[in-house]
Amino acid sequence: MLQTDGLDILIAWVVFGALLAALGFVLLRHGAGGEDDRK
């Protein structure tokens, strides 16, 4: 399990980055531009 060829780490970082980006996008839409989206 400790034996990784780099591809597993790359995939893990891509998934982690995608989750962070989605979370930040949702927070920005609900936080900053929430009032503008409701119009």
Instruction: Give CA torsion, residues 17, 20, 25, 30, to 10 deg.
Output: 170
pTM above 0.75, yes or no: no
Whole-number Cα distances in Å, 38 to 1, 20, 33, 34, 35 = 48, 24, 9, 7, 5
Taking only the tens place, the pLDDT of each residue in 1-39 is 566 678 999 999 999 999 999 999 999 888 765 565 555
- Tokens 């989605």 correspond to 22
What pLDDT does 13 receive? Answer: 95
Q: Distance between CA 12 and CA 25 in Å, rounded?
A: 20
What pLDDT does 5 receive? Answer: 76
Q: Distance between CA 9 and CA 26 in Å, rounded?
A: 26
